[in-house]
């Protein structure tokens, strides 16, 4: 049984509490902290938590809690982590770990020096569908991963501080790109070093300093490319989609707007549909169990199991740091309009392997470039001579 001090009583804290106190869970939140006592006490009542406080220190040092869960705005993550380090308490932190890689690295070093358990709460890699997809990729079902694409777009976040680039550390990239980048890393392989980033970012709609739209390409050491697409101005709900293209296969996942549940309503009931849904009338796309479908249950299962068996969870502060470093490069690239290197003072993955040889032999003299059965009954082979480099086309009759 885990006993948790929860820092924050806002939007994500409620998803976390729904997950931790969900079904017949043994795990309990022992104390909840919010900046405003009234909101902490309302939260404590809603989730039947015995204690609430408006002092972060008091919550972290709650003698009944053996783990701290940080669900605070981005600008408070570092201070909260340092309070856990001081108290020598295990700590889980929501995404993004830091507002930049410097903050993230300070947090990583501090928890490691203190020898405390640390988990990075990147829920979207724990989505059951994504977990299964990652397993298939790791077993080789897709061959060599060449390209990943991850998209998170919605009509914008729900609290004022997200829109303040200083408090949040940026805009849509820091808020949503962190998910997409870590999804890409999980498919390409966390051992493979992200080398450089090319990113376009702009403020197209909202009256803010930060970017409200961005697209980035992260190039990895083995030649793979991971694309992220983020927006705070997308209309129509929350679009969470991932694609993986490998030398032997493809995966397409739609996590939210089309989960196989489609409903028409005249709007007769003023009902909740799904996170960031813009309408509850007409054709709507509800999500059956958001807490599960967004990965929170599997994520806390991994975190608590790892803590109890004295192992590392699948996502640690180190992962949060790498993601922050990739986002820093994205911000530099959006300004310079050039590929910018990912600066990783600490890299714990593999050595450089370069691109893998994927060419297929046709016979001793030729490589096979392409084989296609046409609609007119001919199989076409495109071959390349290994020595001369000459390209030839060979036709044979298809078996009927």
Ligand X SMILES: NC(=O)c1ccc[n+]([C@@H]2O[C@H](COP(=O)([O-])OP(=O)(O)OC[C@H]3O[C@@H](n4cnc5c(N)ncnc54)[C@H](O)[C@@H]3O)[C@@H](O)[C@H]2O)c1
98 forms part of the interface with ligand X (CB under 6 A): no
Measured at CB, which residue is nearest to ligand X? 10
Question: Is position 36 an interface residue for ligand X (rule: CB under 6 A)?
Answer: yes
Based on the shown chain and the rule CB under 6 A, indicate whether residue 213 belongs to the binding site for ligand X: no
CA atoms within a 13 Å half-sphere pointing along the CA-CB vector of 312: 10
**Dihedrals phi, psi of 5, to nearest 5 degrees:** -95, 120
Residue among 154 and 193 whose Cβ is closer to ligand X? 154
Q: How far is the CB of 136 from ligand X (least distance, A)?
A: 24
Q: Does 54 bind ligand X (CB under 6 A)?
A: no
Of 5-13, 185-193, 260-268, 352-360, which part binds ligand X (CB under 6 A)?
5-13
Note whether 9 binds ligand X by CB under 6 A.
yes
Exposure letters 234-266 (e unless 16+ CB within 10 A, then b): beebbbbbbbbbbeeeebebbbbbebeeeeeee
Tell me which stretch binds ligand X (CB under 6 A): 19-27, 67-75, 253-261, 302-310: 67-75
Examine residue 71 and tell whether it contacts ligand X (CB under 6 A). yes
Q: How far is the CB of 34 from ligand X (least distance, A)?
A: 4
> Closer CB to ligand X, residue 4 or residue 34?
34
Give the range of 68-76, 129-137, 276-284, 358-366 binding ligand X by CB under 6 A: 68-76
Taking the least distance from each CB to ligand X, the nearer of 73 and 223 is: 73
Q: Is 183 in the site for ligand X (CB under 6 A)?
A: no
Stretch that binds ligand X, among 70-78, 110-118, 135-143, 330-338 (CB under 6 A): 70-78
Interaction of residue 39 with ligand X, rule CB under 6 A: yes
Binding residues for ligand X, rule CB under 6 A, total 21
Residues 16 to 35 in contact with ligand X, rule: CB under 6 A? 34-35
- Smallest distance from ligand X to CB 396, Å: 53
Closer residue to ligand X in complex, CB, 145/303: 303
Binding mask 116-135 for ligand X (x = CB under 6 A): -----x-x------------
Of residues 39 and 136, the one with the C-beta less far from ligand X: 39
Residue 278's CB: how many other CB atoms inside 10 A?
Answer: 13
For residue 95, state whether it binds ligand X (rule: CB under 6 A).
yes
Q: Select the residue interacting with ligand X from 159, 336, 338, 352 (CB under 6 A).
A: 159
Dihedral sign for Cα 198, 204, 205, 209, please: positive
Among 8, 156, 171, 237, binds ligand X (CB under 6 A): 8
Residue 303 binding ligand X, by CB under 6 A: no
Interface residue with ligand X among 19, 30, 74, 213 (CB under 6 A) is: 74
Contact set with ligand X (CB under 6 A): 8-13, 34-36, 39, 71-74, 76, 94-95, 121, 123, 159, 161
């Amino acid at each position: 049984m885990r006993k948790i001090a929860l820092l924050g009583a806002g939007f994500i804290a409620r998803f976390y509490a729904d997950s931790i106190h969900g079904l017949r869970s043994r795990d309990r939140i022992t104390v909840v902290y919010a900046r405003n006592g009234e909101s902490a006490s309302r939260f404590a009542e809603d989730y039947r938590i015995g204690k609430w406080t408006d002092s972060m220190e008091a919550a972290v040092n709650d003698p009944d809690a053996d783990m701290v869960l940080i669900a605070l705005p981005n600008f408070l993550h570092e201070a909260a982590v340092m309070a856990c380090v001081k108290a020598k308490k295990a700590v889980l932190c929501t995404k993004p770990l830091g507002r930049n890689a410097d903050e993230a690295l300070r947090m990583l070093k501090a928890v490691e020096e203190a020898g405390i358990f640390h988990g990075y709460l990147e829920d979207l890699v724990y989505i059951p569908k994504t977990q299964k997809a990652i397993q298939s990729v790791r077993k080789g079902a897709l061959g060599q991963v060449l390209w990943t694409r991850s998209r998170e777009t919605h009509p914008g976040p729900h609290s004022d501080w997200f829109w303040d680039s200083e408090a949040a550390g940026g805009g849509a990239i820091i808020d949503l790109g962190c998910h997409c980048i870590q999804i890409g890393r999980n498919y390409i392989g966390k051992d493979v070093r992200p080398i450089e980033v090319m990113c376009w970012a702009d403020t197209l709609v909202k009256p803010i300093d930060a970017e409200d739209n961005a697209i980035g390409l992260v190039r990895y050491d083995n030649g793979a490319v991971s694309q992220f697409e983020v927006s705070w101005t997308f209309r129509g709900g929350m679009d969470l989609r991932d694609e993986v293209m490998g030398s032997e296969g493809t995966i397409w996942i739609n996590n939210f707007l089309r989960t196989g549940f489609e409903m028409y309503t005249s709007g007769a009931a003023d009902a909740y549909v799904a996170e960031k849904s813009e309408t509850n009338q007409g054709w709507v796309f509800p999500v059956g169990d958001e807490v599960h479908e967004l990965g929170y249950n599997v994520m806390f299962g991994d975190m608590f199991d790892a803590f109890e068996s004295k192992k590392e969870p699948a996502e640690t502060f180190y992962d949060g740091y790498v993601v922050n470093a990739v986002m820093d490069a994205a911000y530099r690239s959006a300004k310079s309009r050039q590929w910018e290197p990912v600066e990783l003072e600490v890299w714990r993955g593999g050595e450089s392997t370069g691109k893998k040889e994927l060419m297929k032999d046709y016979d001793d003299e030729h490589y096979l470039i392409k084989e296609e059965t046409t609609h007119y009954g001919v199989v076409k082979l495109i071959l390349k001579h290994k020595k001369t480099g000459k390209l030839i086309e060979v036709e044979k009759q298809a078996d009927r």
